[in-house]
């Protein structure tokens, strides 16, 4: 009986994994100026982000949102060489977040970013930051503006999608 239960569990896990894989597609932002691919829900659309196309001191910012319902992933890159190390980019973002009076704690953290808990007067929301360095450029990922669901589960799913970036 125990063996049957284990086999059933393995088959069920495989079915869940296969169905999840069918609902994801690889989005390539190379034609948008950012040399990166990332997994996003099938049916996602790419829209220009708030900072997209902004030029400051000769440096162009590329900013794109990948959206599908409450899945909203913002991808940003400045078209200039790295200004600091990976650790300095991540630490700077952590420091900025920690100065926010709504910051509660980091839920997850690694060398490339973090998932954080925020408390806005009793309303709990989550935020994240993820960094990929490619072609001597810092490519930064965060929650896009098109989501209305800042729950731990939704933001964690978007964060983990960002971690698929290559």
Cβ atoms 69, 79 nearer than 8 A: no
Q: Where are the domains of the chain?
A: 25-162
pLDDT attached to residue 96: 97
CA-nearest of 59, 54, 40 to 146 is 40
- Length in residues, the chain: 166
Each of the 166 residues of the chain gets a pLDDT tens digit; together they read 555 554 554 444 444 444 444 489 999 999 999 999 999 999 999 999 989 999 999 999 999 999 999 999 999 999 999 989 999 999 999 999 999 999 999 999 999 999 999 999 999 999 999 999 999 999 999 999 999 999 999 999 999 999 999 9
CA dist 142 and 135 (Å) reads 20
**Backbone torsion region of residue 43, taken as left when φ is above 0, otherwise alpha when ψ lies between -120 and 50, otherwise beta:** left
pLDDT attached to residue 160: 97
**Count of beta carbons in the 10 Å neighbourhood of residue 31:** 7
pLDDT attached to residue 18: 42
CA dist 162 and 95 (Å) reads 21
pLDDT attached to residue 127: 97
Q: Which class is domain 25-162?
A: alpha beta
pLDDT attached to residue 20: 44
Question: What values do phi and psi take at 2, rounded to 5?
Answer: -65, -40
**Consecutive H or E run containing 49:** none
**Consecutive H or E run containing 17:** helix 2-22
pLDDT attached to residue 46: 97
CA dist 162 and 140 (Å) reads 9
pTM: 0.85
């Amino acid at each position: 009986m125990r063996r049957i239960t284990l086999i059933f569990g393995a088959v069920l896990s495989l079915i869940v994994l296969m169905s999840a894989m069918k609902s994801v597609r690889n989005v390539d932002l190379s034609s948008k100026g950012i040399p990166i691919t990332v997994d996003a829900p099938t049916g996602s659309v790419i829209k220009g982000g708030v900072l997209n196309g902004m030029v400051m001191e000769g440096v162009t910012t590329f900013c794109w949102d990948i959206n599908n319902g409450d899945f909203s992933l913002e991808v940003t890159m400045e078209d200039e060489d790295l200004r600091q190390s990976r650790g300095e980019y991540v630490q700077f973002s952590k420091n900025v977040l920690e100065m926010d009076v709504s910051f509660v704690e980091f839920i997850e953290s690694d060398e490339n970013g973090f998932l954080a808990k925020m408390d806005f007067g009793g309303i709990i929301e989550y935020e994240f930051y993820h960094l990929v360095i490619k072609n001597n450029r810092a490519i930064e990922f965060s929650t896009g503006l098109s989501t209305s669901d800042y729950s731990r589960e939704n933001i964690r799913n978007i964060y983990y999608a960002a971690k698929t970036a290559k």
